[in-house]
Amino acid sequence: MSEKFAYFLGVLLGDGSTGSTRRPSIYLVGDLVEERGYYDYVLIPLIRVLFKISPYSYVRKGNPHMPYISNPRGWSNISSRN
């Protein structure tokens, strides 16, 4: 396992959640004020490198303090070679 993949797993365990097999998804949640730059400039590029996808961050309606990271195509077709 690479350092980058281990880092991603640590983030997922600490600030993430996964969806069901019917709707495969991974969400990483943080504080908009404190962590938005971290999500946009560290985590999203890391996910792009690891999984060859184009995730994006967004603020969920009704909870303006938490940016989420999602993949527009879903997470079911990704795999890590790390």
Break the chain into its structural domains and give their ranges: 3-70
**What gap in Å lies between CA 24 and CA 38, rounded to an integer?**
24
Low-confidence ranges of the chain (pLDDT < 50): 75-82
Q: What is the pLDDT of residue 6?
A: 95
Q: What is the pLDDT of residue 67?
A: 57
Burial of 46 from C-beta contacts in 10 A (0-12 / 13-18 / 19+): middle
By C-alpha distance, which of 39, 26, 40 is closest to 80? 26
**What gap in Å lies between CA 54 and CA 32, rounded to an integer?**
20
